[in-house]
Chain A
Amino acid sequence: MKLQRKSGLRALTVGAVAITGALVLSACGSDDNDSDNSSSPSTSSSASSSSTGGGTNALGITCADGKILSSGSTAQQNAIESWVKDYQQACSGATINYKASSSGEGIIDFNQGTDAFAGSDSPLKPEEVASSKKVCVGGQGINIPMVGGPIAIGYNLPGVDNLVLDASTLAKIFNGKITTWNDPAIAALNSGAKLPSTKIQSVHRQDDSGTTDNLTKYFKGAAPADWPYEHAKAWAAKGGQAAAQSSGVAALVKQTEGAIGYFELSYATANSIPTVKINTGASAPVEATTANASAGIASAKIVGTGSDLALDLGAAYTTKADNAYPIVLVTYEIACDKGNKADTLPLTKSFLNYIASDQGQQKLSDAGYAPLPPEIAAKVRTTIGSLA
Chain B
Amino acid sequence: MTTTAPPPTKPEPHRATGPVTRPGDRIFAGMARGSGIALLVVMAAIAAFLTVRAVHAISKDHGNFLTTFEWTPSLNPPVFGIAVLAYGTVVSAIIAMVIAVPIALGIALFITHYAPRRLGGPIAYVIDLLAAVPSIIYGLWGALFLVPHMRGLNLWLDDYLGWTVIFHKEDPNSAARSLFTVGILLAIMVLPIITNVSREVINQVPKMHQEAALALGATRWEVIRLSVLPFARSGIISASMLGLGRALGETMAVATVLSASPTLSAHILDPVGGTFSQNIVAKFGEADDFGRDALIASGLVLFLITLLVNGAARIIIQRRKEYSGANA
Contacts and interface: CB of A to CB of B under 8 A. Distances in A.
Interface of A: 101-105, 198-199, 201, 206-210, 232-234, 238-244, 248, 251-252, 255-259
Nearest to B289: A108
**Which residue, of B71, B173, B259, B263, has the highest number of chain A Cβ atoms within 10 A?**
B259
A387 to B, nearest CB: 27
Interface string B155-177: 00000000000000001011101
Given A244-B255, A248-B143, A248-B256, A102 B174 contact: no
A101 B74 CA distance: 19
A198 B285 CA distance: 35
Contacts of B174: 201, 241, 256
Q: For the complex, would chain B's binding face be called helix, strand, loop or mixed by DSSP majority?
A: loop
A208 B292 CA distance: 13
Given A102-B285, A208-B287, A255 B175 contact: yes
Contacts of A252: 143, 175, 177, 259
B259 A104 contact: no
Interface in B142-198: 143-144, 147-148, 171, 173-175, 177
Interface in B117-142: none
Task: Indicate the size class of the contact surface on chain B.
Answer: 20 to 34
B72 A199 contact: no
Contact of A251 (B143, B260, B286): B143
Given A208-B285, A234-B72, A256-B173, 18 more contacts: A201-B174, A207-B281, A207-B282, A207-B283, A207-B285, A233-B286, A234-B71, A234-B74, A238-B261, A241-B175, A241-B177, A241-B261, A243-B177, A248-B256, A252-B175, A255-B144, A258-B173, A259-B175
Given A199-B171, A241-B271, A242-B260, A255 B148 contact: yes
Contacts, number: 79
Interface of B: 71-72, 74, 143-144, 147-148, 171, 173-175, 177, 255-256, 258-261, 263, 271, 281-283, 285-288
A243 B259 contact: yes
9 tightest CB-CB pairs across the interface, nearest first? A208-B286, A207-B282, A241-B259, A102-B285, A242-B259, A206-B260, A256-B175, A241-B271, A104-B286
B286 to A, nearest CB: 4
A238 B71 CA distance: 13
Contacts of B177: 241-243, 252
Given A198-B173, A233-B74, A251 B285 contact: no
A234 B260 CA distance: 12
A240 B173 CA distance: 12
16 contacts: A103-B286, A104-B285, A201-B173, A201-B175, A206-B255, A207-B281, A207-B286, A208-B286, A239-B261, A240-B261, A242-B258, A243-B259, A244-B256, A252-B175, A252-B259, A255-B175
Contacts of A234: 71-72, 74, 283
Nearest to A212: B286
Nearest to B75: A232
A102 B283 CA distance: 11
B145 to A, nearest CB: 10
Contacts of B173: 198-199, 201, 256-258
Nearest to B278: A206
**Which residue, of B144, B171, B285, has the highest number of chain A Cβ atoms within 10 A?**
B285
Contacts of A255: 144, 147-148, 175
Contacts of B271: 241-242
